[in-house]
Amino acid sequence: MDFSKLSMIFKFAILAIVYLIIFFALRIMYKDIKSGGRKKVSNRKGTFGLEVIEAGENTNLKNGGIIPVQGELTIGRKNTNHLILEDQFVSGNHARIFVKNTDYIIEDMGSTNGTKLNDERLEDRAILRVGDEIQIGSTLFRVIG
């Protein structure tokens, strides 16, 4: 057997493998550039948020305003919350809304006056649906999405 022919075959095989690696790397980079470098997150609900129905005692909210919910939204009177409510009936850390799998969950954080979901006091956690109404203190929100 002639080693020069075998050597030539190995050279072409290695060259073909290198070109395949380059091709697949360029294809992956093209997909990343096309999507803007963001991973696609499946959100079957689209844009999710809270619409202010009644602002109550809060000067930082107005009726008809929209509060987007992305990931987690904490609600309360303390400045460490994402949504700060200026209401005497709202606890420091009153409630939070977060994503679990594909559902949005509302959780009462042990507030004194409670959180109402569709006019019923929320005991622990509940899955939010579009159209649900949330009352925290004198503020009323409607879930949109």
Q: Give bridge partners of residue 144 from the DSSP assignment.
A: 49
Residue 121's DSSP bridge partners are 116
pLDDT at 102 over 60: yes
Distance of alpha carbon 45 from its chain centroid, rounded? 11
What CA–CA distance (Å, rounded) separates 83 from 87? 12
Helix (H) or strand (E) holding 57: none
- pTM metric for this prediction: 0.66
Q: What are the tens digits of pLDDT across the range 71-93?
A: 899 999 999 999 999 989 999 99
* pLDDT per position as a tens digit, 14-73: 999 999 999 999 998 888 887 765 555 444 445 789 999 999 888 889 999 999 998 899
Q: Over 60: is that where the pLDDT of 141 sits?
A: yes
